[in-house]
Amino acid sequence: MELLSSLVVEAAKQACSSLFSSVTIVTKLHGNVNLLRQETERLRNLKIKINEQLESDQKQGRVPTVQVKEWLREVQDTEIKVDLLDRKLATNNSCLRGFCPNFYRRYKLSRRAKKMLQDVLKVIDSVVLPAGVSMDSPAKGVETLPAPSIINQKAASDTLNQVLDLLEDSRIASIGIWGMGGVGKTTLVKNLNNSLESSTNPFDVVVWVTVSRDLDLRRLQLEIAERLNLQLRAGESTERRAVRLFERLKKEKKVLLILDDVWEKVDLDDVGIPQGDAHKGCKIILTTRFLDVCREMKTNKQIKVEVLDEEESWRLFCENAGQVTKLEDIEPIAKAVSRECCGLPLAITTVGKAMREKNKIELWRNALSELQKSAPYIKGIEKEVFLPLKWSYDSLQGKNTKLCFLYCSLFPEDFSVKVSELIQYWVAEGLIDEQSMEESKNKGIALTEYLKDCCMLECGAYEGTVKMHDVIRDVAIWIGFSGIEDTKFMVQSGMGLRELPLQEEIWRSFKRVSLINNKITRLPDQFLECSQVSTLFLQGNPLKERIPEGFFIGLQNLTVLNLSATHIRSLPLSVSSLVNLRALFLGDCHSLEELPSCAGLKKLEVLDLRFAHIKDLPQGMEELCNLKHLNLSYTHHLETIGTGIISSLYSLEELDMSSSAYRWGELEERKKATLPEFGSLRRLAFLSIRVDNIDLIAQESVINWLKDLKRFCICIGPTSYDASYLPSSYVEKRVILEDVDLLGRRVEELLKHAKSLVLKRCKGISEISELSIRSMMELKSLTVMGCDGITNLVRGEDVVGELSSLEELNLYHMQNLEGVWEGMVPDGDNLRNIKKIKVHECPRLKSLISYALLQQLENLREIEVTFCYSMEEVIAAKAVNEYALPRLQSISLVNLPKLRSICSWVLAWPSLRQIEVCECPRLHKLPLGSHNARTISQIKGDRLWWKELQWGDVDTHNTFQPLFEEYTPDEEEDIWTSRHEAHMELGKGDGSVHSFGPYQNIP
């Protein structure tokens, strides 16, 4: 009973306590609600404040932090709950005034208000954000840039794909894309940027920024930062900005920076761009007009953007000019207009837009006529094309460099000029100031390479030549005509002029005048006063036989005069009045028979008389104390050089008498110049002459001065020679023995100083070793032609290391040659350095390389065998080391009717790139397999031969099938033409054929 009583008492206490608590909650409903409303209002004010801060930050490219976003969501949820409670209280307004009839409802509302208050206070307390309310927004991966499409431009598309492939290469951190202004570099990289948006292996962010001519480091940093949504403060130093950019870029795993229009080296450290090990995921592409910029910035790969071909140019032109280009009468003229833009997209686009939808044929004819001028008057050309290209000119280093560039514009359109000739002009004009011809040559070559690297010059059509792109030339003529450099140029080459322009203002205001390749036949008898003119180019004009006596009177300050390839027979006496003349060019004047005294031309440094018809040198030659270069090559009628003339030219550095008829003969011929005269020419560096008697050149007194020359070409033989058909390499010290009986001759002292030896139709020896092969230690090139007494080039084992320097071996028209090396090749360095072997028309040669010889050819790079009708196997070795020819890159086989095999043994061919086969009907198999020759990129031949070729397996055929390229008819014709020319060269004494016509600078 007591237990029951205690339980009842305890239960009563619990009930009273619970009732008291509930009553308390009910009685505090009004206070809880008021407090909730106050704290909710405080929360709303706090939210407004934070949103205002976010709006301000958003204007600076920042975004809310994750914590702030979460907090704002909690605020929103809390506000919804509070609003819901308020609505319930509003519907039960009597409860708040204490008149709620439902005690339980009042209790629930009061309890909910208290709980809600706790939630609001918790949200308010959680607003403490140590990192701030916003952060730098993550940059968009790729921002699409407006750019013309290059889909129809194959070359540009191929370059784009090449760059994309390089970006996938982990070894490539930087790529330099360079090319002349207006060629489409920016368009290319804009298309590249846009293509990366759909890349399967995307960059986290691609940053595009234009650097421009005037490099502004702070602007550059700001633009990169804006792209990365990184806020830079106005007062920050460039060093501090660089640190912040560096840290920001390192946060991106893969980032690409495209720096467009770079004009000079940009120090990436100063900008804040991480490189190398600092961030291996950071890659850089830059575009520039100058290759040197790529070099200075150490780009891993340089890609030159070339101009468009004719078909691509026409498509781009039509896109800009519109449908009018399809009209029947306009289309041919429109195509001619397009061609005048020379593949330069900037010019094509500008001219195309200027002609858009113009359907009058007269407008198109006028446009074509204007474009054929050097300074066309077409809307937009000067502003949109010439001025941007002039920026490249403005960036050239130094006034003389700019003048050298402008000098190149004096030549006709598409003209390839010899670099050596250009240098002579520049030196004569004082644009290159060096003491010796050698120094001038080195500086001039460096200058032309610099201009090529700046895309202001291009490689010419022939080795050792340069030319100007037509649009660049037009800009140069425009600049030169304007006289920007205080010296005006007048260029009217190839304009069809029939007489010399005689306007007084021309000759009084222009300093350099070019009238090359016109139709001028006569020069005026009395010339205007034109003391300004320093260069006058009249070459390639059909000038009549005689130049009037008074023509040169007004040209007192002329320093360069070129009358090459004209019909003149003589020069007037007044030429001696050109006392400032430093360079006189009379080459290819086949009718030029006599020259007046040149005693007055004491400043003359260059005299070119190649192909002149003169029989002797002009009087007064001994007075030319400053003459440095004398060209008497191909003077087929030169008989006399007076005694003492050569020795008096004590400044002479270069004498070229290649293929001259003059005979440097016996010493007792006292009326003629003799070899000992050269001994007094202390500055002589280059000499090319023919000597009749081998004993004369082999004398010790001659060898003493000959060995000190930097370059020489000595031809020994009874007839004049033509070295143009010989290999162009290793020409600095060449000896040619032509039609000489070498039996018992002592030539070892001469050969000791030779780098190149040519034996042509020589007799008296059956092998090379009979010439005292020990004297050939320095020999790098050996050419043997038509020496029918030789059956094996080298025989026996006595030759140990004597041919260790040889790099090039040429065997032509050897009727009885049966082998290159007979017997074993002794240990040593014999032929270890040989890189190139060429064999042509050796009808008894059955194989080229024996097993013994193969072991020596570890540096061989090129094999060429042509018209050897008994050749059965190129490499006659049955069991060899598979890496016997580790550096061989090219094999060319032409007209070998009995050839069955290149090599019967399997070789690795680790460096082989190209195989050419033409007219080898029995060659049914190539020594290639799917496991070797992985570097090969081209197999060239005729289609029928390729179809009948046998392969070891299907995989091998499938591997090499895409690499096959068929000979074109023109290429096959060239092969037979070259053979005919080789026959002509072997049989002729000199046989040079030249005709009058437009001046062409062809080496």
Q: Which helix (H) or strand (E) holds 87?
A: helix 66-91
Q: In this predicted structure, what is the pLDDT of residue 181?
A: 87
Q: In this predicted structure, what is the pLDDT of residue 17?
A: 46
803 assigned to some structural domain? no
Q: Do 45 and 111 fall within a single domain?
A: yes
356 assigned to some structural domain? yes
241 assigned to some structural domain? yes
Domain boundary among 289, 304, 319: 304
Domain count, the chain: 4
Q: Do 158 and 216 fall within a single domain?
A: yes
Domain boundary among 304, 325, 341: 304
Q: Do 165 and 290 fall within a single domain?
A: yes
Is residue 650 within 8 Å of residue 681, measured between CB atoms?
yes
CATH number of the domain enclosing 300: 3.40.50.300
Q: Do 83 and 40 fall within a single domain?
A: yes
920 assigned to some structural domain? no
CA pair distance 531, 578, nearest whole angstrom: 11
Q: Do 213 and 352 fall within a single domain?
A: no
Q: Do 333 and 411 fall within a single domain?
A: no
Is residue 182 within 8 Å of residue 388, measured between CB atoms?
yes
Is residue 761 within 8 Å of residue 741, measured between CB atoms?
no
Domain boundary among 255, 284, 304: 304
Q: In this predicted structure, what is the pLDDT of residue 355?
A: 86
Is residue 320 within 8 Å of residue 356, measured between CB atoms?
yes
Q: In this predicted structure, what is the pLDDT of residue 629?
A: 96
**From the CB of residue 107, how many other CB atoms can be counted at a distance below 10 Å?**
16
Q: In this predicted structure, what is the pLDDT of residue 504?
A: 72
Q: Encode 46-83: b = buried (16+ Cβ within 10 Å), e = exposed.
A: ebeebeebbeebeeebbbbbebbeebbeebeebbeebe
127 assigned to some structural domain? yes
CA pair distance 343, 341, nearest whole angstrom: 6
Q: Do 210 and 341 fall within a single domain?
A: no
CA pair distance 278, 240, nearest whole angstrom: 18
Give ∠ CA 843-849-851 in degrees, rounded to 5.
140
Q: In this predicted structure, what is the pLDDT of residue 919?
A: 92
CA dihedral 773, 779, 785, 789 (to 10 degrees): 0
Residue 54: give the domain boundaries: 7-136
Q: Do 167 and 258 fall within a single domain?
A: yes
291 assigned to some structural domain? yes
Q: Count the alpha carbons within 13 Å of 976 in the hemisphere toward its beta carbon.
A: 5
15 assigned to some structural domain? yes
Q: Could you write out the DSSP letters of every residue in 795-838?
A: ESS---STTTT--EEEEES-TT--EEEESPPPSS-TTTT--EEE
Q: In this predicted structure, what is the pLDDT of residue 61?
A: 63
CATH number of the domain enclosing 404: 1.10.10
Residues in the chain: 1003
Burial of 226 (0-12, 13-18, 19+ CB in 10 A): middle
Read off the pLDDT of residues 356-365 as tens digits, 9 standing for 90 and up. Answer: 888 888 888 8
Q: Do 170 and 184 fall within a single domain?
A: yes
Q: Do 461 and 323 fall within a single domain?
A: no
Q: Which amino acid is at 197?
A: E
959 assigned to some structural domain? no
Query: Which tokens hold the place of 655?
Result: 């004498």
Q: Do 215 and 347 fall within a single domain?
A: no
CA pair distance 303, 310, nearest whole angstrom: 21
Low-confidence ranges of the chain (pLDDT < 50): 1, 3-4, 7-9, 11-13, 15-26, 96, 98-99, 988-997
Listed in sequence order, the residues at least 6 apart from 656 whose beta carbon sits closer than 8 Å to its beta carbon are 610, 630, 631, 632, 633, 686, 688
Q: Do 295 and 324 fall within a single domain?
A: no
